Amino acid sequence: MNAARAAGGAAPSSALELPYPYLLFLGDTTEPAYAKTAFGLRDWVPERCIGEWACEGATVTTGLPRLAPPEAYAKGARGLVIGVANAGGVLGASWVPLLVEALEAGLDLVSGLHAKLRDVPELRAAAARTGRRLVDVRTPPPNIPVASGRKRTGKRLLTVGTDCALGKKYTALALARAFAARAVPVDFRATGQTGILIAGGGIALDAVVADFEAGAAEMLSPEAAPDHWDVIEGQGSLFHPAYAGVSLGLLHGSQPDVFVVCHDPARERVVGYPDYPLPDIPETIELTVQLGKRTNPAIRCAGVCLNTSRLEPGEARALLARERGRLRLPVADPIRAGAEFERLVDSCLA
């Protein structure tokens, strides 16, 4: 069973018709954190990924075969996905000729950037000429309401972070898959471009007008049966100097019963903002409870997920054990899984 199916479906009226298998486009990226869309698709829906392509000078790779668009099309690819989530969500001018080449090879273009494919004249003209589609997934649905603040039936879990791009999506997907494996009714609710591409639907919260962010979160996670869980992908960080507003709107609108803190222990500074140190885990828990109680007084922290990808297995196990003792909460790495992760799942469902 693939990860997207195990994690559940899209929210009502938010499903997308996506042209996969995909060729993943890495642009001119030299910072791995900015290629999180490509890595997320590779890791969670590998059966949809044919290969990768990039501009000259790019240094990031997913490890997939490097294929030009005609080669990828011949191998079955039907869409080129921009696998970059850079600061500001901009589309590089140097990318445009390569994207036109992809359209001419028969591939639709799919983007989760803030910049819209349809706003680039060369791409719009090439798509019209070739009969191909330009799919911008970071487009909110119409008629999002202002949040009501009303308590909804069903249960909700939100992943929150000490920074961007450190594991909130991976943690949410892993927890949703673990819930499903225990026959717990569950849906993964995507709130960012990569999650939407994995799940096939969702709402990109950072593309919603600020006054409607909490309402979008309510819309994304509607009333459900009492035993049903929505596992909601977190965005940004409540401490982030640029993106905290999105995180707060999502927290208030999702009204989580449970949250899990995600943290990269190898990171000391906010990515892209070196003057700002990362908050520590206890203060992240404290602030999330303080703000989350506004719309769900029963909110609680079920545990912590650490991104230990830069550590050897023995080092990772030792760190998880130390943090579990320090925080007195389950602490796990969702990708390494194991007994620590199962204890976290127990805590979430308790």
- Give domain status of residue 76, yes or no: yes
Residue 42 has pLDDT above 80, yes or no: yes
Same domain, 34 and 110: yes
Same domain, 203 and 259: yes
- Give domain status of residue 271, yes or no: yes
- Give domain status of residue 3, yes or no: no
- Give domain status of residue 147, yes or no: no
Cα Rg of the chain, angstroms:
20
Give the domain CATH number at 325: 3.40.50.300
72, 105, 136 — which closes off a domain?
A: 136
* Alpha-carbon distance values, 81 to 15, 153, 230 (Å): 17, 36, 27
Q: At what angle do helices 281-292 and 313-327 cross, to 10 degrees?
A: 50
Helix (H, G, I), strand (E, B) or coil at 65: coil
pLDDT digits (tens, 9 = 90+) for 239-285: 999 999 999 999 999 999 999 999 999 999 998 899 999 999 999 99
Helix (H) and strand (E) counts in the chain:
12, 13
Same domain, 115 and 163: no
pLDDT of residue 311: 94
Same domain, 196 and 318: yes
Neighbouring residues of 183: CB distance < 8 A, sequence distance ≥ 6: none
Q: Are 34 and 85 in contact (CB under 8 A)?
A: yes
Same domain, 99 and 196: no
Count of domains for the chain: 2
Quick one: what percent of the chain has pLDDT higher than 90? 90
Q: What burial letters (b/e) apply to 106-136, b meaning 16+ CB within 10 Å? A: bbbbbbbbbbbbeebeebeebbeebebbbbb
- Give domain status of residue 143, yes or no: no
- Give domain status of residue 164, yes or no: yes
77, 105, 136 — which closes off a domain?
A: 136
pLDDT of residue 292: 98
- Give domain status of residue 68, yes or no: yes
pLDDT (average), residues 122-129: 98
Same domain, 126 and 256: no
pLDDT (average), residues 101-118: 96
pLDDT (average), residues 188-202: 94
- Give domain status of residue 11, yes or no: no
Same domain, 109 and 184: no
Q: Which domain holds residue 311?
A: 155-349
Same domain, 34 and 126: yes
Same domain, 200 and 345: yes
pLDDT (average), residues 26-30: 93
Same domain, 163 and 115: no
pLDDT digits (tens, 9 = 90+) for 160-178: 999 998 999 999 999 999 9
The residue type of 43 is: D
Same domain, 159 and 104: no
CA 350 to chain centre: 25
Give the domain CATH number at 80: 3.40.50.720
For the chain, give the mean pLDDT. Answer: 93
Same domain, 79 and 169: no
136, 165, 196 — which closes off a domain?
A: 136
How is the beta sheet containing 300-306 ordered, strand by strand?
186-189, 229-232, 155-161, 258-263, 300-306, 331-332
